[in-house]
Structure 1
């Protein structure tokens, strides 16, 4: 039952396609915002897609338990082409945004990718828009709404906010977790010139009409500011992803028997970890009396598995498929060190996944393979939580691993002292969002 509106609360309409039981990092941002907003006098009403009709690459039923009982969630229908994709390709899984889980592509998958890039603009989930727009309009007729927040990807969700803004004139905040036309796999979608022009016009119109735009990194802000000369830099606010303190109640259980390096989440060859793998192999060779384990928890592409084998690491590597969020945190807490990687693609200086902040909260040393002097590099340095190594930095990665191994021999607990990461708690970040919503 929908809770009654009260005069002393600020009512916000929160539109997001990804919502429990969908899994993945984007769900965490939306879920935690909604969880903490009532603490700041804001009552969110969530509009999302019916889980039985949604096209979710990953499911995590455990996240349903985290949705507060007093939050009204409206689930709508949708019309999307992914059933056609599964029939066309014979694949059972829905592709990720960057088609990270498609493996080697056949002609059918290439055809679908072309159709995705040119018939469904901005993306195939645009078929949800008319259902969500209708649901939002009905809510606004029933009770007063002071603001609208649309979270993407899929960036088609922002077009719902654009229409609601034009129709009702309410404050509209566009929360964009990823770049739009600058996303690293954009060129792989084989847009025609006409499709690119239309997509860019949608992006520019959203940026110009939203009252505020949220991004997760400074570099993303820079990218979006280039889209229109009329954009005020003060309109774009950086609120990064974060960690929820309630998720980190498990104690550290790092092993004294094994040196365990853990990676959680999706990883493909675009992340370019070959230099790290080679350095780890040499580290293992030079330390025959240390038992090493490289653990991947999540979706790992076939090419990355091939790279692991080519580096001579198959016997020490463990693959664990996607697990519920709480279980993935337990794997973090049972690790010696944590591996992170940023895709080796253009415009990657501002890629800041939620994984980074959960890694910080785990208090383990972080080994990040990515661009030097990017936003991740700055945060790791600020928090004293680890180092970023360039993709081609084999020698420095090797030296770092050898030094860590030497330290581990003396004391197998490499957990960090208390580090300065509390500003990235989900509650602290939601407080910043609340200030924008009521201003």
Structure 2
């Protein structure tokens, strides 16, 4: 169990540092725009959100690849790729280079978002997964909160280039621990390695080669065939599974809101409340408090609720038993949106706006944890592929929402803009938690 939790913490650290990079540049975008002469609000927002665009495409390859080559190898090679390009961002000499390097870094940084869920599925039984998922799913949401806080002070006291250099230093430390302690967890890979060791011990290599060649020829188990099927699997799951489509759309909306908030909060507190960039960045703590508090409370009760419902169901567990915590999540989210938007619109004291932001954070993490755990429980062996399908939509939303946010708030104001978002969250969220009790995975 100690080894399991060590692996979980290291994977969560990988999952944390990448989203930190995704948002850390947000408070420093004015410096970037000034240095590179960027005047378009869309391009300015893209310097932040293009990293998340890569999150949409990376898992489609890296998630299935981890089911062929193993979790640990894919995670560590992807992280090294991220390290190299994130470091390069600090040396970018034009907006084109910065955007391109950010996208390439995001491809490597996307691996833990898909592969990490597969690691949790490998390590823990369903009744033990709640706490592990709570820690793992906290990382990709807490990372974008910590990033802008640090980025705001770096931008205030130094230069935007240190945003990338500092995250690269931290990632190097995480990678060092990964090289030492991160072990392979995927059962088919471990069984293959065990078979190879057994064969060597029995000194039957020649006989084994003949048997394996015959088996592969008769069942088409070549690595090309396995890899081809694995790469197609996320698209197959999304096309054939209504539950993946439904939860994917809702998670996309929630994730898009998260990045919309991350990119617009500096404007609210600098323009409405006239705070300096460093102090404005501290308001991200409200988002972090909401996320952390809801996550820890949910971590305590998710496994208990699962065990209780499993007992009531005659000892048979179901993925739907993970969904009760999505109900308060669908309530907190629109409530927080309305409170944030109208308090900022009417210049109410900043603490009220921060309370609304905390509610948005709490609603986000509750929805995120419920959906992630449901998908992991439903598609245990192929959890990485299923999460890749869900991650694709949410990452596209994380990229797109910040691009239209400035125009929306300029035209409607914070009150009406957030009211529209609250209405959409209710329209999507309520059917999501109702229909998950009716729709079952067709190919678990």
TM-score by length of 1: 0.25
Of Structure 1 and Structure 2, the greater strand share is in 1
TM-score by length of 2: 0.25
Q: State the structure with bigger RCO (CA 8 A, min sep 6), 1 or 2.
A: 2
